[in-house]
Structure 1
Amino acid sequence: MTQEFILETRGLTKQFRGFTAVDDVNLQVREGHIHALIGPNGAGKTTVFNLLTKFLPPTHGEILYRDKSITKMKANEIARLGLVRSFQISAVFAHMTALENVRVALQRPIGTSFHFWKSERTLDHLNDRAMDLLDQVGLAEYADVLTVEMPYGRKRALEVATTLAMEPTLMLLDEPTQGMGAEDVDRIVELIRQVAKGRTVLMVEHNLSVVSRLCDRITVLARGAVLAEGDYKTVSANPLVKEAYMGTEVEEEEASA
């Protein structure tokens, strides 16, 4: 595992009409790590994600990927570099099968995403790769199932498969276990662990059990600013973090450990 920073922010700031949502954030994500952004509601986590993936322009500051500034690049340009994001809500096509969803994602790198007039059979050459990705996330048996008919946890796994189809070097996962029961959470934790091999993952996650099991490093945000950083043991023992966010959740987590 290399110790290089694959992603950095320097003084990253976002203001909305005088309100500072992200306040001078300096983030350093090491290549090969699973890194979590955590914090209370309104801490600025999703805004940071939106800045990193160019859904919002920063007011001030700089974003670097592999030591090169991507601050002024567009969302599609950074996706081509390998920064690929999944969203807090499932973002797959409900009335397409799992296989068809992955095939759509596979078309993007080869530039045929919008060739709707072509026969579906022209996409058959993508089937093997799509099935391989479905197999990687444990969805091979769902290949021909309409997404709308799949359980919620399986839909999120499908979203991971479509993200992998974009060949990411850095995966940004926004609340990957939100709304899941314990069984689905365990499945997604193992899935993230598997797909993180050979990749870097930056994730926003509220479930502290997930964070403690998966993450090499954690950045805690509060009121848009970095409050603490370190591994789970260090962060969970920080009294400022307990006061601002974790509190009883940390105590319960430690008691169950």
Structure 2
Amino acid sequence: MTTLHEGSSMHAGPTTTGDSVLVARGLSKRFGGFMAVNNVDLSIRRGSIHALIGPNGAGKTTCFNLLTKTLSPTSGTIDFDGHDITQMRAADVARMGLVRSFQISATFPHMTALENVRVALQSSYGSTYRFWNSLKRVEPLNERAMHLLERVGLANMAKVEAADLSYGKKRALEIATTLAMEPKVMLLDEPTAGMGHEDIEPITELIRETAKGRTVVIVEHNLSIVATLCDRITVLQHGEVLTEGTYAEVSSDERVISAYMGGVDED
């Protein structure tokens, strides 16, 4: 894992420009007496790969869940592609193009890779999936499904059940099902969590490839991946933005070094 290097303290705060596709202002989330996310400002530039990082307990996952509408904020606003989505449901936001993949692979284990992507395509095209539908009715989606499997390196495993895929291949399949939703912004929650070294590099390259033409936001613990992939990084601590900038900037910030070296409770 890449380490944080000592250096002069540098700080680059959140930058909101006309080219920002996802913007949070004053975003907060309280659970009872605990403020998990506190007054977070965040601006994701269109076409970038943006990471949310921080030590355990920093509020990354809560912030991610707020952005993807899995949670509703206690206060603050979220704009996506020029629309206020603060009060919208996750499903409606997904149809607008803000799509997340989950940390635990969200595939149907006893369906083939092709069938999993086809289900996602049916959802994307507004066609409800029914197990009793004639196969002829879904055959037109097979070509698109195979194209997506090809993009993630799974074309030769189209007829393999998801349960029989390796962990890394399951994550690749999950990305294929996410791409089936035709996201403008793709949000990835710990895309390499639990992977062996042999799977990390292919998934990293897959993320880089699928990021072409869209925006990607990731929560990631593996700093070597963050350093390799990300254009911009927001560092959270105690539910607040500690700093934001390029990897070179944040990794040389003494506050970031201190936060990682000190550590806090589990997120």
Match of 2:212 in 1: 197
Are the equivalent residues in 2 in contact too, given 1:236–1:246 (CA < 8 A)? no
**Which amino acid in the other structure matches residue 103 of structure 1?**
R
Q: Return closer, same or farther for 1:223/1:44 CA change in 2, 3 Å cut-off.
A: same
Q: How does 1:152-163 map to 2 (within 5 A)?
A: 152-163=167-178
Q: Secondary structure at the match of 2:248?
A: helix
Question: Could you report, residue by residue, the CA deviation over 1:221-240 in whole angstroms, capped at 9, with x for unpaired residues?
Answer: 01110001100000000000
Q: Aligned partners of 1:246, 1:91: CA distance in 2, in Å?
A: 33
Where structure 2 has 5 or more consecutive residues not aligned to the other structure, the ranges are: 1-16
Q: How does 1:1-257 map to 2 (within 5 A)?
A: 4-245=19-260
Q: Aligned partners of 1:246, 1:229: CA distance in 2, in Å?
A: 18
**Which amino acid in the other structure matches residue 240 of structure 1?**
R
Higher mean C-alpha displacement, 59-68 vs 18-27: 59-68
Give the TM-score taking structure 2 as reference length. Answer: 0.90
Identity over aligned pairs, percent: 62
Q: Secondary structure at the match of 1:14?
A: strand
Q: Secondary structure at the match of 2:109?
A: coil
Question: Could you report, residue by residue, the CA deviation over 1:185-204 in whole angstroms, capped at 9, with x for unpaired residues?
Answer: 00011000000000000000
**Post-superposition shift, 1:76?**
1.0
Q: Return closer, same or farther for 1:129/1:171 CA change in 2, 3 Å cut-off.
A: same
Q: Secondary structure at the match of 2:178?
A: helix
Alignment length (residue pairs): 247
Q: Return closer, same or farther for 1:63/1:55 CA change in 2, 3 Å cut-off.
A: same
Q: Aligned partners of 1:106, 1:245: CA distance in 2, in Å?
A: 41
Backbone CA RMSD of aligned residues: 1.4
Q: Aligned partners of 1:105, 1:134: CA distance in 2, in Å?
A: 12
Q: Which runs of 4+ in 1 moved over 6 A?
A: none
**Post-superposition shift, 1:246?**
5.6
Q: Aligned partners of 1:83, 1:110: CA distance in 2, in Å?
A: 15
Question: Could you report, residue by residue, the CA deviation over 1:136-172 in whole angstroms, capped at 9, with x for unpaired residues?
Answer: 0000011000111110000000000000000000000
Q: Aligned partners of 1:109, 1:66: CA distance in 2, in Å?
A: 19
Q: Return closer, same or farther for 1:247/1:139 CA change in 2, 3 Å cut-off.
A: farther
Where structure 1 has 5 or more consecutive residues not aligned to the other structure, the ranges are: 249-257
Higher helix share: 1
Greater relative contact order: 1 or 2 (C-alpha under 8 angstroms, separation 6 or more)? 2
